[in-house]
């Protein structure tokens, strides 16, 4: 509870700081740099309900509006992005949703070689015909320092919170601390080594199965479920005439509630390359190896929204720039994700095409 | 035989005072040039000191001007700095014509000295050719000839360097006493510089295009990741907001180092006060291979903008050099024809 109050106060403070900053910077008449994007597309989904069996195909529509802005001042950089999206499958109204996401970030110089940053991020997912709306918010305070030999160290503190509108069972409040060390080998190549520690406190009591019938008899602790997640990451990044990133992430969750502890290995790769003056190829892939470290006896879903869980996928996107900021794109995606129930996976293929306009 | 010896001594008797007189003139000129060079060095050092002070003041003034609301103390400091800056500008403006005049004077004196050296060399060569001289005397004359030739070479190099300086300050002009060869040499210098500037402009163009492509790829990749996170079920625990992954968006090294980056400063990119009307900064002043990995998109765009304006400046200068070189070549041909007719 205390953590939740701290998190909420901190986020309110962040919003106040950002509003003050915006009004002050507006008065100073400094320049903003904006980029906006509108996207409309059609999507063919061979398993839109994310089922293991009895899959159904549907064609859906999607709309996206995005606005990003940056402003540089003397010793600071302010940036924001907002994305609003709609996704719907006409005959299957329960899948229709509105998503709003916003981020504001303020980086500022502190001393020579040291900068600070504060960031607020939030996503609200509104299922129009289903009572599983939720919001996920986080705010980050970070310090970054150049320590010589082209090495940068970044430490961060990030409270975060998940809140479902109608069900408190899955809600949590978390606090993540992190440190990352980045080495720039050349102008374009860098390597980042990171460690993060996330403490999640759920809004439900921790449970433990009672022997000899743990699947039927549960003992509920007086305290809430608390997960302690350690994340270790290694990322190569190349940003030149082509953009390439390769990351490995190891995640270890130790929960005080029976059946929630796991070990997770991720391999994430992304690539972007211009094939010709107007053709751009983008690729994104992720592989996951998730092992639960203890048996799970209950049949309670891990989450309410299937789309919050992602495991294995690869996505290929080809876009062609047309005249006047317009572009057309075609995207194929394959997913093999963990379902709402642990260790049970569903599979789906997605084919998306659409038009984009940047202004 | 006696008659020949008498005539020989008579010739030497006439030549020695002539050479001696020439040597006295040469010494005087060398002394004058030395004094002028010393004064020029003093003036230049003084100017550099003023420019340094003015640059520092300009930096402080721009910092104060960037602030929206100045308090009383800041306002009076700003006024004080503005008046000091004006004083320094006046001092620099007073020194510039004096430095220019001194440079011209030094160049003219050096030319006169070269003419003196040429005369001495000519006389010595004539003497060596015409007379059979005693060995010691011959050795002394050869020694004088060698040292005079060396001095002439040094002087010629200094004149060429000063011509190069003139070229760099974009003030290379034809002078009344320039020979066709000299005019042609000036035209060649201009052509050479034009060529170098064109190569530079091509390099800058390539870098601008590469950077534009890089920024486009980077931006579109960030958009792609955000979109996937939003629609295609990427796990929020590894997505943008929660992971603090910034994809280069906020890795702005210049924020770390403090202050606005130099490449985002238009005044810097246009030309600083100290480099006014000079071609030289087109070759110096900026490194085109910036570390863009750690720059935010905004900084890269500002940097591209600066490079574009710089490229335009380089191309304009190259065009003006080509026009000037054409005119010089025409003038050289004209002067050659006149010389041939004479």
- CB-based contact B259 A107, cutoff 8 Å: no
Mean pLDDT is highest, among A180-184, A186-190, B239-243, for: A180-184
- CA dist B99 and B112 (Å) reads 20
CA distance A212 to chain B (A): 35
Q: What is the pLDDT of residue A327?
A: 93
Q: What is the pLDDT of residue B15?
A: 55
- Buried b vs exposed e over A140-159: b needs ≥16 C-beta within 10 Å? bebebbbeeeeebebebebb
Q: How many CB atoms lie within 10 A of CB A78?
A: 21
pLDDT over 90 percentage in chain A: 33
- The answer as to whether A167 is a domain residue is yes
Q: What is the pLDDT of residue A338?
A: 83
Q: Identify whether the C-beta of residue B109 lies closer than 8 Å to the C-beta of residue B29.
A: yes
Q: Could you tell me the residue range of the domain that residue A176 belongs to?
A: 6-358
- CA dist B333 and B183 (Å) reads 9
Q: What is the mean predicted confidence (pLDDT) over A103-119?
A: 87
- The answer as to whether A127 is a domain residue is yes
Residue that wins the pLDDT comparison between A296 and B305: B305
Q: What is the pLDDT of residue B245?
A: 40
Residue of B68, B213, B220 with shortest CB distance to A27: B68
- CB-based contact A241 B217, cutoff 8 Å: yes
Residue of A107, A138, A272 with shortest CB distance to B242: A138
Residues of B in contact with A349 (CB under 8 A): none
Q: What is the pLDDT of residue A21?
A: 52
- CB-based contact B223 A66, cutoff 8 Å: yes
Q: What is the ipTM of this complex?
A: 0.81
- CA dist B231 and A335 (Å) reads 13
Q: Identify whether the C-beta of residue B258 lies closer than 8 Å to the C-beta of residue B244.
A: no
Residues of B in contact with A311 (CB under 8 A): 235
Q: Is the pTM of this model over 0.95?
A: no
Of the listed ranges B123-132, B175-184, B242-251, the one predicted with least confidence: B242-251
pLDDT over 70 percentage in chain A: 86
B253 contact partners, CB below 8 Å, separation of at least 6: A146, B291, B294, B295
- CA dist B141 and B138 (Å) reads 5
CA distance B292 to chain A (A): 7
Residues forming beta bridges with residue A226, ordered by sequence position = A201
Residues of B in contact with A272 (CB under 8 A): 217-218, 220-221, 224
Q: What is the pLDDT of residue B262?
A: 36
- The answer as to whether A104 is a domain residue is yes
**Res. A134: pLDDT tops 60:** yes
Residue of B63, B244, B250 with shortest CB distance to A158: B244
Residues of B in contact with A243 (CB under 8 A): 217-218, 221
Q: Which regions of chain A does DSSP assign to beta strands (E)?
A: 33-45, 58-73, 76-88, 97-111, 114-127, 134-146, 151-164, 172-184, 189-209, 218-239, 242-255, 262-274, 279-292, 312-321, 326-338, 345-358
- The answer as to whether A1 is a domain residue is no
Mean pLDDT is highest, among B17-31, B174-188, B325-339, for: B325-339
What's the domain count of chain A? 1
CA distance A160 to chain B (A): 8
Q: What is the pLDDT of residue B52?
A: 81
Q: Which residue of A has its CA nearest to B290?
A: A187
Interface probe with A: pick from B63, B67, B69, B235, most Cβ of A within 10 Å: B235
- CB-based contact B241 A103, cutoff 8 Å: yes
Query: pLDDT category, A153, cuts 50, 70, 90?
Result: very high
Residue of A77, A138, A272 with shortest CB distance to B296: A77
Q: What is the mean predicted confidence (pLDDT) over B238-264?
A: 40
Q: How many residues does chain A have?
A: 359
- CB-based contact A138 B259, cutoff 8 Å: no
Q: How many residues does chain B have?
A: 342
Residue of B218, B230, B232 with shortest CB distance to A243: B218
Interface probe with A: pick from B258, B266, B288, most Cβ of A within 10 Å: B258
Interface probe with B: pick from A67, A68, A77, most Cβ of B within 10 Å: A77
- The answer as to whether A206 is a domain residue is yes
Residue of B63, B221, B296 with shortest CB distance to A272: B221
Q: Identify whether the C-beta of residue A193 lies closer than 8 Å to the C-beta of residue A234.
A: yes
- CB-based contact B235 A308, cutoff 8 Å: yes
- CB-based contact B217 A35, cutoff 8 Å: no
Mean pLDDT is highest, among A106-115, A317-326, B52-61, B284-293, for: A317-326
Q: What is the pLDDT of residue B278?
A: 33
Of the listed ranges A237-241, B18-22, B57-61, the one predicted with least confidence: B18-22
How many H helices and E strands in chain A?
Answer: 1, 16
CA distance B64 to chain A (A): 11
Q: Enter the tokens of residue B57.
A: 């003041």
Q: What is the pLDDT of residue B74?
A: 81
Query: pLDDT category, B277, cuts 50, 70, 90?
Result: very low
**Res. B224: pLDDT tops 80:** yes
A353: phi then psi, degrees, rounded to nearest 5: -140, 150
Q: Identify whether the C-beta of residue B264 lies closer than 8 Å to the C-beta of residue A72.
A: yes
DSSP 8-state assignment for residue A319: E
- The answer as to whether A94 is a domain residue is yes
CA distance B336 to chain A (A): 53
User: Quick check: helix, strand or coil at residue B251?
Assistant: coil
- CB-based contact B233 A315, cutoff 8 Å: no
- CB-based contact B233 A114, cutoff 8 Å: no
- CA dist B316 and B310 (Å) reads 10
Residue of A70, A140, A335 with shortest CB distance to B296: A70
- CB-based contact B66 A315, cutoff 8 Å: no
Residue of B217, B228, B248 with shortest CB distance to A284: B228
Q: What is the CATH number of the domain that holds A142?
A: 2.40.160
The string of pLDDT tens digits covering residues A4-44 is: 455 555 555 555 555 555 554 544 445 677 888 999 999 99
Q: Identify whether the C-beta of residue B120 lies closer than 8 Å to the C-beta of residue B26.
A: yes
Query: pLDDT category, A298, cuts 50, 70, 90?
Result: low
Q: Is A314 exposed, middle or buried (0-12, 13-18, 19+ CB in 10 A)?
A: middle
- The answer as to whether A259 is a domain residue is yes
Q: Are strands A326-338 and A242-255 parallel, antiparallel or unpaired?
A: unpaired
- The answer as to whether A189 is a domain residue is yes
The string of pLDDT tens digits covering residues A63-96 is: 999 988 888 777 788 888 889 999 888 777 777 8
- CA dist B175 and B272 (Å) reads 30
List, as ranges, residues 14-53 from B with C-beta within 8 Å of A.
none
Q: Among candidates A110, A247, A239, which has minimal Cα distance to B291?
A: A239
Residue of B231, B249, B256 with shortest CB distance to A79: B249
Q: What is the pLDDT of residue B265?
A: 35
CA distance B94 to chain A (A): 35
List, as ranges, residues 259-318 from B with C-beta within 8 Å of A.
259-260, 264, 289-294, 296-299, 301-302
**Res. B293: pLDDT tops 70:** no
Prior bond of B102 cis (ω within 30°): no
Residue that wins the pLDDT comparison between A352 and B29: A352
Query: Across chain B, what does the average pLDDT equal?
Result: 72
A279 contact partners, CB below 8 Å, separation of at least 6: A318, A319, A320, A321
B77 contact partners, CB below 8 Å, separation of at least 6: B64
Residue of A64, A142, A270 with shortest CB distance to B227: A64
B194: phi then psi, degrees, rounded to nearest 5: -60, -45
Q: Which residue of B has its CA nearest to A277?
A: B213
Of the listed ranges A69-73, A287-291, A322-326, B247-251, the one predicted with least confidence: B247-251
Interface probe with A: pick from B61, B248, B252, most Cβ of A within 10 Å: B252
Q: What is the pLDDT of residue B238?
A: 45
**Res. B280: pLDDT tops 60:** no
- CB-based contact B68 A114, cutoff 8 Å: no
How many H helices and E strands in chain B?
Answer: 8, 0
Quote the Cα angle for B107-B111-B113, to 5°. Answer: 115
A-B interface: how many C-beta pairs under 8 angstroms? 181
Query: pLDDT category, A353, cuts 50, 70, 90?
Result: very high
């Amino acid at each position: 509870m205390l953590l939740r109050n701290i998190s909420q106060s901190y986020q309110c403070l962040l919003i106040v700081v950002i509003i003050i900053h915006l009004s002050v910077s507006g008065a100073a008449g400094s320049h903003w740099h904006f980029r906006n994007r509108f996207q409309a597309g059609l999507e063919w989904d061979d398993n839109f309900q994310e089922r293991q069996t009895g899959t159904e195909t549907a064609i859906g529509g999607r709309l996206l509006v995005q606005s990003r802005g940056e402003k540089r001042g003397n010793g600071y950089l302010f940036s924001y992005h907002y994305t609003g999206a709609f996704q719907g499958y006409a005959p299957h109204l329960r899948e229709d949703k509105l998503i709003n996401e916003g981020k504001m970030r303020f980086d500022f110089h502190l001393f020579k070689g040291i900068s600070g940053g504060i960031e607020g991020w939030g996503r609200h997912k509104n299922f129009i015909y289903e009572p599983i709306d939720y919001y996920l918010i986080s705010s980050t305070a970070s310090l970054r320092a150049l320590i010589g030999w082209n090495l940068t160290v970044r430490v961060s503190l990030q409270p975060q919170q998940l809140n479902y509108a109608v069900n408190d069972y899955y809600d949590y409040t978390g606090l993540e601390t992190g440190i990352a060390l980045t080495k720039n080998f050349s102008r374009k190549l860098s390597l980042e080594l990171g460690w993060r520690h996330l403490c999640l406190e759920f809004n439900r009591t921790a449970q433990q199965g009672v022997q000899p019938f743990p699947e039927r008899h549960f003992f509920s602790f007086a305290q809430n479920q608390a997960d302690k997640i350690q994340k270790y990451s290694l990322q190569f990044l190349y940003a030149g005439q082509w953009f390439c990133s390769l990351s490995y992430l190891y995640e270890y969750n130790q929960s005080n509630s029976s059946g929630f502890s796991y070990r997770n290995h991720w391999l994430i790769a992304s690539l972007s390359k211009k094939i010709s003056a107007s053709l751009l190829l983008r690729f994104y892939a992720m592989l996951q190896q998730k092992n639960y470290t203890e048996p799970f006896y209950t049949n309670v879903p891990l989450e309410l929204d299937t789309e919050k869980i992602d495991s294995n996928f690869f996505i290929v996107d080809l876009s062609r720039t047309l005249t006047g900021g317009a572009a057309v794109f075609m995207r194929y995606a394959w997913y093999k994700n963990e379902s709402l129930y642990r260790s049970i996976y569903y599979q789906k293929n997605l084919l998306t095409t659409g038009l984009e306009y940047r202004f | 035989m006696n008659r020949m010896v008498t005539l020989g001594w008579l010739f030497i008797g006439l030549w020695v005072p002539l050479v001696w007189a020439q040597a006295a003139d040469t010494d005087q000129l060398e002394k004058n040039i030395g004094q002028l060079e010393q004064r020029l060095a003093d003036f230049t050092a003084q100017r550099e000191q003023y420019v340094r002070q003015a640059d520092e003041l300009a930096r402080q003034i721009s910092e104060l001007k960037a602030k929206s609301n100045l308090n009383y103390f800041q306002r009076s400091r700003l006024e004080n700095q503005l008046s000091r800056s004006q004083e320094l500008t006046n001092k620099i403006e007073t020194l510039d014509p004096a430095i220019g005049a001194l440079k011209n004077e030094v160049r003219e004196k050096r030319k006169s000295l070269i003419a003196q050296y040429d005369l001495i060399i000519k006389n010595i060569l004539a003497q060596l050719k015409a007379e059979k001289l005693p060995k010691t005397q011959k050795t002394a004359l050869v020694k004088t000839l060698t040292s005079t030739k060396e001095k002439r070479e040094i002087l010629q190099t200094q004149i060429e360097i000063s011509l190069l300086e003139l070229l760099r300050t974009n003030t290379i002009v034809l002078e009344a006493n320039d020979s066709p060869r000299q005019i042609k040499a000036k035209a060649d210098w201009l052509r050479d510089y034009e060529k170098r500037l064109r190569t530079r402009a091509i390099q800058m163009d390539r870098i601008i295009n590469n950077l534009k492509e890089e920024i486009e790829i980077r931006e579109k990749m960030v958009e792609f990741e955000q979109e996937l996170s939003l629609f295609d079920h990427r796990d929020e625990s590894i997505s943008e907001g929660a992971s603090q992954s910034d994809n280069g968006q906020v890795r702005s090294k210049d924020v770390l180092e403090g202050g606005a980056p130099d490449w985002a400063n238009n005044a810097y990119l246009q030309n600083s006060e100290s480099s006014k009307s000079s071609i030289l900064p087109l070759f110096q002043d900026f490194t085109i291979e910036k570390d863009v990995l750690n720059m935010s998109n905004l900084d890269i765009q500002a940097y591209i903008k600066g490079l574009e304006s710089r490229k335009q400046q380089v191309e304009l200068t190259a065009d003006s050099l080509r026009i000037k070189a054409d005119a010089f070549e025409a003038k050289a041909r004209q002067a050659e024809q006149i010389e041939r007719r004479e």
